[in-house]
Amino acid sequence: MDETCWSPFNISVPYITDFHKAYLDSKTLAEKETLRLGNKNESQLEVVSLVCGLIGGDALLPFTPATLAVFVSQLTNNEIHYNSLKYLEALLGKVPIVHIDDVCEAHIFCMESPSLRGRFLCATSYVSRAGIASYHQQNYPQFHVKEE
């Protein structure tokens, strides 16, 4: 992935909601503008955009982060979060995933690397909804996994 890879505006993807559309468009516009400002010749900014997949792993929060809720949506039968999972798979073909520890390491790497600029994808694997369901079934057989 580089500066030429962007989610197109006005894309028609199954499971897209007004929320997904607004979220995707606003993040894309903000990232493009930030990178544009960082790429100006007189800019002293070293702008790095770390594009993360769906983040999983331990959380120290008093609530379940949205990304974790999407990961377990097949177990919780939360239709809103499950639609987000279906949307990601429809948009990208497979769902990019990454552990929170890897995201932290990537942020540290970017901050400690001199003269680093541009966009970087932070994902350790690409999985399907069926793959996530299979993982849940194998590792947590006591829970019912939503059937398609």
Alpha carbon 68 to chain centroid, angstroms: 11
Q: For this structure, is 21 an active site residue?
A: no
Strand, helix or coil for residue 93 = coil
CA atoms of 32 and 26, how far apart (whole Å): 10
Per DSSP, 63 falls in state S
Which residue among 27, 32, 40, 86 is the active-site one?
27
Q: Strand 125-127 and strand 95-99: pairing?
A: antiparallel
Please answer whether residues 15 and 47 qualify as being in contact, where contact means their C-beta atoms are separated by less than 8 angstroms: no
| Catalytic sites, residue numbers | 27
